[in-house]
Structure 1
Amino acid sequence: MPGIVEKKCIECGTAIKGRVDKKFCSDQCRSSFNNKLNSDDTNLMRNVNNILRKNRRILLDLNPDGKSRVSKERLNARGFDFNFFTSVYKTREGAQYFYCYEQGYLAIEKDYYLLVHKKDF
């Protein structure tokens, strides 16, 4: 029949039967296509999220009461990575609290940090 265009799966090239807006011939092709599309981003995001979770867990373990003081040496010994945090809060006085989700820290005196828990999270 003239005018009928046969659609092909964008993953494997097999002819598609069914709805006109269908892009894949099977769930396997759809999954495979999306896994390839997101593989680089997914690996990076997984690694960053693992570091953030570890940082949060360390802060939580060292701050059971919601407010405590801890040395940088102790944080480093647990594997804390100061390069990864989820947000920064700057006070009017200019102090910067760094947060890993609801667990935060503030540099106070030389090589010591105040650990805090953000209650309104």
Structure 2
Amino acid sequence: MPEILRIIKRNYEILRSYGEIERDTEIFVNKEKIMEKGFNFKFFTSIDDTDEPYRYCFEKGFRVIGDYVYIKDDLTQAEITVKQESGKNQRPFPLI
């Protein structure tokens, strides 16, 4: 497995260890604590385009504010759409 994919998978597992998060809810954890677990903030699968963007490892989103990491779930981030040569979109499929 390529190194980048290993890092993203580890990040995902760390975020997942905080449990399922209800829709429209976020939790926060101490930045140092998540770093001690091996989290690498430089690697993620996507980013949203909000004013305070979340970076995602599949459906697990995170953003850093000061000494805290805010985490939320967004299932729409766990899917991608592949453009065919014809310009039509194929059915989305999960990355995991």
CA distance in 2 between counterparts of 1:106 and 1:95 reads: 8
Unpaired runs of at least 5, structure 2 = 79-96
Q: CA RMSD in A?
A: 1.4
Unpaired runs of at least 5, structure 1 = 1-44
Residue 29 of structure 2 aligns with which residue?
70
CA distance in 2 between counterparts of 1:47 and 1:100 reads: 15
Q: 1:103 aligns with which of 55, 60, 63?
A: 60
Q: TM-score, normalised by structure 1?
A: 0.56
Percent of pairs with identical residues: 33
Q: Deviations over 1:40-78 (max 9, x none)?
A: xxxxx611110000000000002x131311111111010
Q: TM-score, normalised by structure 2?
A: 0.69
Give 3-state SS (helix, strand or coil) of 1:116's partner: strand
Normalized per residue, which structure has more helix? 1
The structure that has the greater radius of gyration is: 1
Give 3-state SS (helix, strand or coil) of 2:17's partner: helix
Structure number with greater CO (CA < 8 Å, separation at least 6) is 2
